[in-house]
Amino acid sequence: MDERVAAAIATWGPRFTTNGVNHADYESVTSAIAAWHEWCTAWSAAAVPHEELGAEALVEARHRSAGTHYAQAALYYHFAKFLFVQDPDQLRKAHQSAVRCLNIALPYLDPPGRRVTIPFDGAELVGILRVPPGPRPRPAVVVIPGLDSAKEEFRTTEELFLRRGLATFSVDGPGQGEAEYDLPIRPDWEVPGRAILDTLAALPEIDAARIGVWGVSLGGYYAPRMAAGDQRVRACVALAGPYTFGEHWDRLSTLTRDAFRARSRSDGDAAARTAALELNLAGHAEKIGCPLLVVTGKRDRMIPWQDGARLAEEATGPSTLLALDDGNHGCSNVPEKHRHKTADWMAARLRD
């Protein structure tokens, strides 16, 4: 097993199963990968049986099953491409399959989902809206990916909020998912955040006065920037986000540095490091006046938990720090210690 495969497994292993990958599939796929160039092909191959089961279910009019199978295939195709920036053609093919499978799944999910496009900076951002049954308009949570995640990864996260009566809007921002080909990563997430909130607030299913944001990893930086720059955000969750991303450049894996270089359109490692330093909450954290929940793990090998503590301390609104002694990056190895608590916290603040 080469260094990059080992790093992917060591850093993100629990994330796969927490976000819905079947444990047996995870073990089967990762144990067979010896070199990084095999990664995308292996995960794409693992997606195919789920896609075939979805097609079979559609033919037989078993629509709920079809939605489940196609969403699972989308998740596997997503993990095929998530950090595979060394082969852009192979990455894009896997990503197109992820998008295609999720699009097929959306009307058959419970509750259903639908694509919402947002014109932005000469391109467009794409989000998935899901609204639980019951009286409308509903409070909503904007679900923000990180450097290597995208909206195709968030079905289990969405379920946490949906079961508590909150709508979800999982969205690919600049440098993420469907937008990564046209728009680079940018530090001023209050700008795309404003476009996202404008669109979401105008939807008749959504209560514009009760919108929260949740972000993971680099999304745990984007969400606070969004909350700092737009008072329409009623509550903010930052999970494993950096305070200043570039300060941790040397401790990041080669996979992460390569992905940031590619998605920030940086010409080389030095330029990428400079761009990463621009992702900085200094001068912004103190503008967060809404309730803030910061979740971090003290065993995070990428982003020190002290970054989260600093964010919680500098925010001027009511803030809570949940620093888990045994949590890894994203705390996906201890989901029972934060995921339900986070969803309860968000629901309580958006119900007011």
Which residues are the active-site residues? 217
Is the Cβ–Cβ distance between 288 and 317 less than 8 Å?
yes
In 3D, which of 129, 153, 208, 138 has the Cα closest to residue 21? 153
Q: What percent of the chain is helix, strand and coil (3-state, nearest 5)?
A: 50, 15, 30
- Quick one: three-class SS letters along 23-88? HHHHHHHHHCCCCHHHHHHHHHHHHHHHHHHHHHHHHCCCHHHHHHHHHHHHHHHHHHHCCCCCCH
Q: Which two tokens stand for residue 263?
A: 């998605």
**Collapsed DSSP state (helix, strand, coil) of residue 188:** coil
Residue 329 DSSP class:
G
Pairing of strands 167-172, 123-130: antiparallel
Query: What are residue 242's phi and psi, to 5 degrees?
Result: -85, 155
Task: Report how far residue 264's alpha carbon sits from residue 204's, in angstroms, rounded to the nearest whole number.
Answer: 35
* Residues comprising the chain, all counted: 352
Q: Which two tokens stand for residue 225?
A: 């920037």
Write the CA distances from 108 to 26, 112, 113, 130, 270, integer angstroms.
25, 6, 8, 11, 46
